[in-house]
Structure 1
Amino acid sequence: MCGPFTFTTPPLLPARLIFLMGPTASGKSSLAMALAKTFALEIVNADSVQLYRGLDVGSAKPSLEERQQVPHHLLDVTTPDHPFSADRYREVAWQIIADCQQRGCTPLFVGGSGLYFRAVASGLVLIPAMDPAIRQQIKQQGEEWGWPVLHQRLQQVDPQLAARLTPNDGQRISQGLAVYTATGRPLSQWQQEQPPPPPFTILKMAPLWPREQLYARIDDRFAAMMAHGLLEEAGHLLQAGYDRHLPAMKAVGYRQLFPFLEGKHSLAEAVAMAKQESRRYAKRQMTWLRKEPDLHWLPPEGVSEATHLVAEFLCHKQ
């Protein structure tokens, strides 16, 4: 899906959505293809890296053959030097949902970017853009002084938000202080002004693998990516002149290979770092998912279980 969109509000009629979530290398793409073929679903990418043209191997982007078999949306919509925000993702995703409603089909959102799923399901807290230097300064202070010190500062400017956070929740403390610094208003106040969530009925599923098996799959998949040209793809991105500090260029795998291409690490070191960071990323994704309400955990390669859930979901009258 590419091109200008002006749709800024959710579809007016209740819509059914399917979310296939999960950590990296958990088999989401193959499961999505099986479900889409069985139920005539249309796949909507919810992976932040697959949005970008030129980042194909490292993002495990669906092949052209797969895209011909099942309709796919939100792949290759922009270039690395034109970042795609979560707010923009929500806007375009809601347009796709509205289009699917009109055609009588159900969208299947597939990916590992938790913020994108949240943006689709409930929108985002809309706050003015802020100088990235503010976030960076607060992050440095947190690392230097300790997050409990900044939590005390947050209690002074946004006691409602601070009461919901632990003293070591650096990410959310940082966000709260950054919003107050940039806007002069507490983040909790911005959150209270958020519009009600769209009228969506959502089935959420995620494959659950034993940790060691998942980590082995991550290592195997990265080795396969290297065999299929990931190093060459990373080299082409550098040759194209893209700034390494762009969000897309910081994606796991690419970010670790760039130093090797610049002569700063050996290839073995780069590969080891990429695998390690992929495992860390999977751990963060699992932490996010464990907090996701109404999520159905699937067994590894749980095609039959997912098929049963989707069949019940689509047949149930709203």
Structure 2
Amino acid sequence: MQANSLSLSKAVLIAGPTASGKSALALELAQKTGGIVINTDSMQVYRDLRIITARPTVEEEARAPHRLYGHVDASVNFSAGAWVADAAKVLAEARAEKRLAVFIGGSGLYFKALTRGLSAVPPIPPDVREAVRARLERDGVEALHTELARRDPVSAERLKPRDRTRIARALEVVEATGRTLPDWHQEGLPPLLPRSEFTALFLAPERDQLYARIDARFDAMLTAGALDEVAALAARNLDPLLPAMKAHGVPVLIHYLRSEITREEAAEIGRADTRHYAKRQFTWFRHQLPEFEWVKPEAARGWLEARTA
């Protein structure tokens, strides 16, 4: 790839911690190049959660084509594999229209699936998933971890004994397929974007500056209607283990709506949880996706201009 030229057959990947300015940068690039903004965030796929997940506004979406935002119902246990299948269709659309594909988000697993490939685990039938979740509620996570240690000792050894979501997932795979997750992981699917077909940056603001933005944004979400959004979601009485029910801010605001904590306590917990998540994002990308070039927000536009000129 030329240092000053990026073919539209390639894709641009913009990652970074929450509240780092990714969306604005992706929108600016898409407008400049006539590109398509493709969501690569595991929570922004849910139509129920526009405000609390900081999805682009309707006005922003009108300024350039946006794909894979709010296209999944909160009742769906959406996966990285399902996202890759959707992303493949959008990437084909972008290439057919000779548009630059701009993947943007903060979900490291989605970016890893996009650029490294996925294991070949088939979809889990809903009845199997529901049966395992029912046993989890009835018998407790310790009992399921004990069962997992018998049926998939490798996964059980890797997982913390109280990791409800991952223990349930590992058992679902054994129940549905008769094979363990480590066994399936040996049969990988190829990446949607091989290394030669993308350029990637990770927005890396100063921590103090980022944390201040996170705090201000969470408060702004509350003012903008996040409570009403979460109240509507809570009224659906969905499985609390569903991904949408665990989006940052959702569980704590449900506690507030049930009068279990004060609004200020909920806000403080929500801000702190989001800061901790941002910290984990830094660590994950540093260790899992070293091909992403770390760029300060103030230098990102110049970095992209040098590659899209």
- Residue 104 (str. 1) matches residue 101 (str. 2): no
Structure 2 counterpart of 1:262, which letter?
Answer: R
Query: Structure 2 CA distance, aligned partners of 1:193 and 1:169?
Result: 26
The residue aligned with 2:15 is: 21
Cα pair distance change 1:274/1:81, threshold 3 Å: same
- Residue 62 (str. 1) matches residue 59 (str. 2): no
Cα pair distance change 1:21/1:175, threshold 3 Å: farther
The residue aligned with 1:221 is: 217
The equivalent position to 2:284 in structure 1, one of 284, 288, 308, is 288
Query: CA contact under 8 A between 1:179 and 1:186: conserved in structure 2?
Result: no
Q: Structure 2-normalised TM-score?
A: 0.79
The residue aligned with 2:238 is: 243
Cα pair distance change 1:176/1:254, threshold 3 Å: closer
Task: List per-residue Cα deviations over 1:97-121 (Å, max 9, x = no partner).
Answer: 1111111111101111112222222
Superposed, 1:207-218 pairs within 5 Å as: 207-218=203-214
Deviation at 1:199, TM superposition (A): 5.5
Task: List per-residue Cα deviations over 1:35-79 (Å, max 9, x = no partner).
Answer: 112222210011222212231111111111111111100112122
SS in 2 for 1:301: helix
Q: Which stretches in structure 1 are left out of the alignment for 5+ residues?
A: 1-13
The equivalent position to 1:37 in structure 2, one of 9, 27, 31, is 31
Cα pair distance change 1:199/1:295, threshold 3 Å: closer
Quick one: percent identity of the two aligned structures?
33
The equivalent position to 2:118 in structure 1, one of 121, 124, 130, is 124
CA RMSD of aligned residues (A): 3.5
The residue aligned with 1:9 is: none
Query: CA contact under 8 A between 2:11 and 2:199: conserved in structure 1?
Result: yes
Query: CA contact under 8 A between 1:90 and 1:120: conserved in structure 2?
Result: yes
Structure 1 counterpart of 2:28, which letter?
Answer: A
The equivalent position to 2:201 in structure 1, one of 197, 202, 205, is 205
The residue aligned with 2:4 is: none
Structure 2 counterpart of 1:89, which letter?
Answer: W
Deviation at 1:185, TM superposition (A): 4.1
Query: Structure 2 CA distance, aligned partners of 1:169 and 1:297?
Result: 35
The residue aligned with 1:8 is: none
Query: Structure 2 CA distance, aligned partners of 1:102 and 1:267?
Result: 49
Structure 2 counterpart of 1:297, which letter?
Answer: W
Query: Structure 2 CA distance, aligned partners of 1:170 and 1:254?
Result: 21
Q: Which stretches in structure 2 are left out of the alignment for 5+ residues?
A: 1-7
Cα pair distance change 1:131/1:56, threshold 3 Å: closer
Query: Structure 1 CA distance, aligned partners of 2:70 and 2:223?
Result: 22
Task: List per-residue Cα deviations over 1:155-175 (Å, max 9, x = no partner).
Answer: x9788x99xx9898998x969
Query: CA contact under 8 A between 1:31 and 1:301: conserved in structure 2?
Result: no
The residue aligned with 2:81 is: 87
Structure 1 counterpart of 2:297, which letter?
Answer: P
Structure 2 counterpart of 1:298, which letter?
Answer: V
Query: Structure 2 CA distance, aligned partners of 1:92 and 1:294?
Result: 24
The equivalent position to 1:75 in structure 2, one of 69, 78, 88, is 69
Moved more, 128-137 or 88-97: 128-137
SS in 2 for 1:60: coil
Q: Structure 1-normalised TM-score?
A: 0.77
Query: Structure 2 CA distance, aligned partners of 1:20 and 1:60?
Result: 16
Superposed, 1:95-174 pairs within 5 Å as: 95-128=89-122, 129=124, 131=129, 133=132, 140-141=141-142
How many residues of Structure 1 are paired with residues of Structure 2 in the alignment?
288
